[in-house]
Structure 1
Amino acid sequence: MYSPYIKPLKVVVAFIYYACLCLIVSGLFVMVYLYFWPIEQYKLFTTVPVRLGEEVVYGDKGFVVTAKSSFQTSLSFIYFNRPFIEENAGLYWKITGWYFLGAMLITLMLHQVKQIMDSVGTVNVFSSANVFRIRLLGGLFLFDTVIDPLRWLWIKDDVIALLKKHYVAFEQGGYGLWGLLSASFFIGLLLFGLAEVFRSGLYLKEEQELTI
């Protein structure tokens, strides 16, 4: 099977994959650098399921917390405030760790896509390896739907302690069932269906080879 679009598409997928690897390495360097040699303009932020009593900004205390929606609040660390960063180093590195977990998840997804694309246009496109890769890709998308709830469980105690310490009025929220029914959830299900299509294609290919 030949198509003029296959080769450029493979090049694009490979470029995105290797670019993500470079971003992970450089991102780790930047996070470590900013922790020890802070730059005032940079901030580390995350979104937490908390509703504020009012929009609050505490730039002088080393962090900024602002209301985004009813139960979505943005929490930002100001790097240049060294005492605050050192006092809350545990929360800082927990948030940083989840950033890299997300980056690694995306990179692993792209790695599977790259391997599948490498087999497109060859006799190995319908193979047990590709069936496994598509299933793994579907599983990674399903895992992505629970990333935010898991992240919140990981940092919840630290965030609540921080808000209480600075007398921030808030109401704790959470991630309900509807929050899990994201695009990643449905993409994951579709990929498991696609894996079955590839498995059927592999079966037909093996049957044809036995017939010949």
Structure 2
Amino acid sequence: MGSDDDNLRLFHSTPHPCGYWPGREARDLVLDPRDERLPKLYPTALAWGFRRSGDIVYRPSCSGCRACVPVRVPVAAFVPDRSQRRCLARNADVDAHVVAPACTDEYLALYRRYLSARHPGGGMDDHGAHEFEQFLIGAWNDSRFLELRERASHRLLAVAVTDLAPEALSAVYTFYEPDEAARGLGTLGVLRQLEWARRDGRTHLYLGYWIASHPKMDYKRRFRPLEGFDGRGWRRLEA
């Protein structure tokens, strides 16, 4: 990664069930979580296809499988398509606020409703305040919560957990009101993050990993142009 990264330690995780394909086994390449340089190394790690989950910075490294492709959107080149413009119009009554990360009763209640509706039996059903802080806030990263609130009622609809890097934003995780599916809150969260990145003059929004033909990942292809990391560099993914 550069001269600053002398003696950088990388580990392979033990095999674990793949979170995307049932019956498959996965492994990750992980930066040493005890390395005090992690806050400084993290922006470079993003550019090398890594991602953060809690205090862990990792990249899938599965034997015989390269399905997970790190993707990012070049902010200046992004133009919403027709469907995304409709999403913005449908949510014209929703305001976005960037706030400091915290574990409040309001956030935790929304998070638990989201997990119960969207990921039942996924191993996160019993998440409480400790797991929320460990997974979404972390100890060393520079993050913000992007709140989406209904203007009239001030009702919290969604929270997009976002990491800040000097030249980019990274979309870490978004949870939203499951009974407001018609709003397209997941898409709205990404659109508002792109607006935020553009407003701040940042070059890219990292969207984590995309898997071709996977129903839970396909939405990322709709944010165009989209760049994918092939292990050596970033290249434009064709539509």
Q: What is the TM-score of this pair, normalised by structure 1?
A: 0.22
Structure whose alpha-carbon radius of gyration is higher: 1
Which structure dedicates a bigger proportion of its chain to helix? 1
Q: What is the TM-score of this pair, normalised by structure 2?
A: 0.21
